[in-house]
Structure 1
Amino acid sequence: MFLARVTGSLVATQKVASMTGHKLLLVEPYRVDEKGGDRLVPTGRTFVVVDSLGAGVDEMVLVCQGSSARLTPETEKLPIDAVVIGLVDSVDVRGRVVFSNKPGS
């Protein structure tokens, strides 16, 4: 699993039938900053993921990747390798909140 920020969406009008109706998002993984561990920083990579929860642009999400992405009831029969499995409320590293989705935090 990894943390990622939703950066956009993807539309594919031509796709396999089992993917019809599934929302696709672009996400950028984040990691804890190596220089102090006091913030999250982007990795510069981009992934396409299936959105099973209704995430929106700029939300921080938890992504499951690989064969495990097909282990949810919503994705068990889909040809995917990455899925949003959580909307992140906060991230705490060594007792310090490095991310919070609450305004003013």
Structure 2
Amino acid sequence: MFLGKVIGTVVCTQKDESLTGLKLLIVQPMKDEHTKTGKAMVVIDTHGAAGYDDLVYLAKSRDSSLPLGLDLVATDAGIMGIVENYNVIKHGGAHS
């Protein structure tokens, strides 16, 4: 799983039958809440609740469609949930 920030939406006049009824969003992968990593990607919103500027957590490959309960969905990544809060605890070294 990895973090991402929703930066846009995708509207399609035609799409693969396995994507019927699913919202497609453009997500920028993030190292943390403020640091981009990699290229933006189109993902499915498996819960239909994510929106612009939401911090989300995603899964890739087959795991991306698990919440849908379907055998095969034409996607490379999917939103598993919306991050409302997270904490990072640093171990060792100097703390500021």
DSSP 3-state at the match of 1:93: coil
What are the equivalent positions in structure 2 for 1:40-51 lying under 5 Å apart? 40-51=34-45
- In structure 2, list runs of 5 or more residues that go unmatched: 91-96
Contact 1:70/1:81 (8 A) holds in 2: no
Q: 1:12-71 deviations in whole A, cap 9, x for unaligned?
A: 212222212211000001104xxxxxx631125101100122101000001111121132
How far, CA to CA, are the matches of 1:68 and 1:27 in structure 2? 17
Select the structure that is richer in strand. 1
Letter in 1 for 2:13: T
Which amino acid in the other structure matches residue 42 of structure 2? V
User: If the length of structure 1 is used for normalisation, what is the TM-score?
Assistant: 0.74
Q: Which residue of the partner structure matches residue 60 of structure 1?
A: 55
The percent identity for this pair of structures is 36
Cα distance change of structure 1 residues 7 and 92 upon mapping to structure 2, 3 Å threshold: same
Q: Which residue of 2 aligns with 1:80?
A: 75
Stretches of 4+ aligned residues off by more than 6 angstroms: none
Paired positions, count: 89
The equivalent residue for 2:29 is: 29
Q: 1:57-97 deviations in whole A, cap 9, x for unaligned?
A: 000001111121132235543122211111101121116xx
TM-score of the superposed pair, with normalisation by structure 2: 0.80
